[in-house]
Chains A and B, each alone.
Chain A
Amino acid sequence: MELTRRAAMLTSAAIAASVNLPEAALAQETPRRGGVMTVHFATEQRILNPSLQASTGVYIVGGKIQEPLVDLDAAGNPAPCLAESWESSADGLTITFKLRQGVTWHDGRPFTSADVQFTAMEMWKKILNYGTAVQLFLEAVETPDAYTAVFKYSKPMPLGLLLRALPDLGYVSPKHIYEGTDIRQNPANTAPIGTGPFKFVQYERGQFIIAERNPNYWRPNLPYLDRVVWRVISDRSAAAAQMEAGQILYSPFSSLALSDLARLGRDPRFEVTTKGNEGNPRTNTLEFNFRNPILADIRVRKALAHAINIPFFIENFLSPEYAKLGTGPIPSVSTDFYPTTPMPQYPYDKAAAIRLLTEAGHRPGAGGVRFTLRLTPAPWGEDIGLFSTFIQQSLGEVGIRVEIVRLDAAGFLRTVYNDWNFDLATGWHQYRNDPAVSTTVWYRTGSPRGAPWTNQYGVADAEMDAIIDSAATELDPVRRKARYADFVRRGNSELLLWNPVEQLFLSAFSRKLRNHANTPRWGSSSWHDLWIAP
């Protein structure tokens, strides 16, 4: 741990140094055509089609081959991609997309509104994770002509919500490939056919994926690159070595060890940055099992929060360059929804923690121990492991003994969200542009047992449910933002869940790359303008 802490501090120095580089000088260079982009692919997925699975592991590959209706521009605003324009009816029940003309699939067939209709109804609404929730009230997609798709909803759909959801949940698949087949078993799931700048060539499991330039891409004279090669490297240290050996040019989403990221950040050949990851913020969570009577008492939950010194943790275990004090379930990078008024917080205050515990009737017993809790950390992310140890030691200081129960991914999800066999859990909450996509489900009651990252905590808060439901169908952007401020206030004051740390992923880039990290979801984006300097 000592090593990681020191290394983390070095990262911050390295990142601070990289910010001062003369980026303007680079922007004046003329783009060079050709070259091969090589990417670190840490965790192999079962499928590569982003219309069927919404996760960064799929976008990092599928996002270059298939495209969404709407993408994000450099400032993080919805920008046209396969859809050129959109408008909503006044009642929010009809949303019309005008589609781009002259776009062809990689097999030569034209892209039309029929593809959008098929993908929306058969994939987004029925199979795509988070898509099924966002499109719950989608009744039909009408296609008055080949380049118009009209989405019909049975309840008002805020245009802003749909547009913020579509960059991730709006990838289109070809109808002629999937229609009449078993969608889950279609061979195109691992050999995707899209409209994107790169055409799928080959996937050798456990080794590599290759995609090559699409000569008929609709953006003229793009892409610059000849090919993209993803190398499957499961060992983090080996990936760092391959980066140094020049075999990979980009390692996305904090896939390397924190100590290696710090080392590479100091090396003039590499750039380690949070840039390009602003669209994928996450918060570290502390989840409480309300079925345990000790934790059902709000005084105890507040005491736990007061007992943990988050600024110290960020300063010494992570780095202020990519992590900061969390203030609630909506991270500060989400300017559209981040509350403008201060929300209830629980700053480090050991005396307050002890007072609250004593008030709640938990006096120190043998060895100064008030009670014992089991803490189950999620197995992904180095920071979660560090945080669980930090929680254990911090709570020990106020007389709470913590036993850490480590499980692998499947075991963690089953134990926490299905078997409810935990007291405390800690992991990540991934925020996806709009609180209605993947944030409110952590608080809303009614998720089926076993649904991961949802309210499986044995707590029902009627007021919270009412706030969430009204915000989800509120069409006025200003009132919508106010409702989500109510949501954060309610969540924080009842401390249904604690979001003490806010983080961005780190990317490691070779300094040869140009036009990289130029959008908030760059790792997932299509890389049509990426080029490599000699």
Chain B
Amino acid sequence: MRILSLAGRRLAASLPSLLIILIGVFLLLQLAPGDTVDALLAQMGGGGDAATTAELRRFYGLDVSVPVQLGNYLWRLVRLDLGFSAIYGKPVSTVILERLPATLLLMSASLSFAFFFGLLFGVIAARRVNGWQDSVISTLGLLFYATPSFWFGLMAIVLFSVHLQWLPAGGMESIGEGFTGFTRVMDIASHFVLPTLTLGLIFLAIYLRIMRASMLEVLTLDFVRTARAKGLDETRIITRHVLRNAMLPMVTLIGLQAGTMLGGSVVVESVFSLPGLGRLAYEAVVQRDLNTLLGIVFISALLVIAVNFLVDLLYARLDPRIAREGS
């Protein structure tokens, strides 16, 4: 299939950019004053003597020059070794694997939430354009988009956890309850309701506006008039003809935002005390844990490449013209 070779070529082209990203982040962090031993000294509250500090620098591999450190890192990477985390005292790959479930759960839950309701409300708003439904949906969308997520999250906690006591205020699951099976699933789900809504509402606002605009555009095209002239009813026109074409911009956006969501949920993870990759990355920067930060960048970049690859394939399914183009 032509689309596969196209996507494959994209995949090959992303390798050099991956390398540039990694080297860029490495050098950028060199510009920040202080290293991971300084961060550790700050945690200890001082009192470390010179010999101990020098030993720590050797222990963390900071006693060699920057180019040598970079070289060491890339050489390890070639052997698929992400190195050792300074903060966690274990291999970076283990640290990231521990954090991945929370991140993926939060990301997929809020993306699906935003995608589904964005689609639904976008379609409703477009069908009733300038009606009261459209006004309500558009106003709410604007409101969600304009509200900072930390505020939204905190207010949700105050309302649903502190006052109503319906949902837990934070964490990933109940601690030390020893839940298993279905009870555990429900327990985790209840912990993820508020974070998912908080993160999802912002994306929902974007999706519904994109969907509305793209629906309105497609609705004016000739093939819709043809369909109407054939005597098809409106629901069939929307679901069979308009929706599919109008979804292309949405899919593009998801491809772009999957990457943002991976690292961009620091705020939501902090407010809800979730052990995700965003908080890990933030901590890695503050503590100058270079290996962990580069590991996260590497994994995130891989995920973005994978998602984009999937999006390319999806394009072809949604619009067969793309696969045929140029052949």
Contact = CB atoms under 8 A, between A and B. Distances in A.
The answer to whether A and B interact is yes
Interface of A: 36, 43-47, 53-57, 126-127, 129-133, 184-185, 189-190, 204-208, 210, 227, 229, 231-235, 237-238, 241-242, 244-245, 247, 380, 407-415, 418-419, 430, 438, 441, 448, 450-454
A233 B176 contact: no
A36 B176 contact: yes
B217 to A, nearest CB: 41
Contacts of B46: 129-130, 430, 438, 441, 451-454
Size range of the interface on B? 35 or more
A231 B273 contact: yes
Interface string B150-171: 1001100110011001001111
Given A185-B89, A206-B279, A410 B47 contact: no
A407 B32 CA distance: 9
B34 A410 contact: yes
A411 B48 contact: no
B39 interface: yes
Nearest to A419: B33
Most central of B32, B89, B154 by chain A CB within 10 Å: B89
Nearest to A53: B44
Nearest to B168: A247
B162 A451 contact: no
B154 A244 contact: no
B265 interface: no
A233 B279 CA distance: 11
B280 interface: yes
Contacts of B153: 238
B169 A241 contact: yes
B45 A55 contact: yes
Contacts of B33: 407, 410-411, 414-415, 419
B40 interface: yes
Contact of B270 (A45, A184, A185, A235): A235
A299 to B, nearest CB: 31
Given A189-B89, A451-B49, A410 B35 contact: yes
Contacts, number: 180
B50 interface: yes
A54 B273 CA distance: 26
Contact of A410 (B36, B158, B175): B36
B157 to A, nearest CB: 5
A410 B275 contact: no
A132 B44 CA distance: 13
A45 B43 contact: yes
Contacts of B99: 206
Contacts of B170: 231, 233, 238, 241-242, 247
29 contacts: A44-B87, A44-B283, A46-B86, A54-B45, A55-B45, A126-B52, A129-B44, A129-B45, A129-B52, A132-B48, A132-B49, A205-B88, A205-B95, A207-B175, A231-B171, A237-B150, A238-B154, A238-B169, A241-B170, A242-B170, A245-B162, A247-B169, A247-B171, A410-B36, A412-B34, A414-B35, A448-B49, A450-B50, A453-B45
Contacts of B176: 36, 210, 227, 229
A132 B43 CA distance: 17
Given A208-B171, A237-B271, 13 more contacts: A132-B47, A133-B47, A205-B88, A206-B99, A231-B175, A237-B150, A237-B154, A238-B154, A238-B271, A242-B161, A413-B38, A415-B33, A438-B47
A127 B52 contact: yes
A425 to B, nearest CB: 14
Contacts of A241: 154, 157-158, 161-162, 169-170
A450 B53 contact: yes
Contacts of A126: 52
A448 B176 CA distance: 46
Given A206-B99, A234-B273, A410 B287 contact: yes
A189 B87 CA distance: 12
A139 B25 CA distance: 47
B207 interface: no
A220 B162 CA distance: 39
A240 B166 CA distance: 18
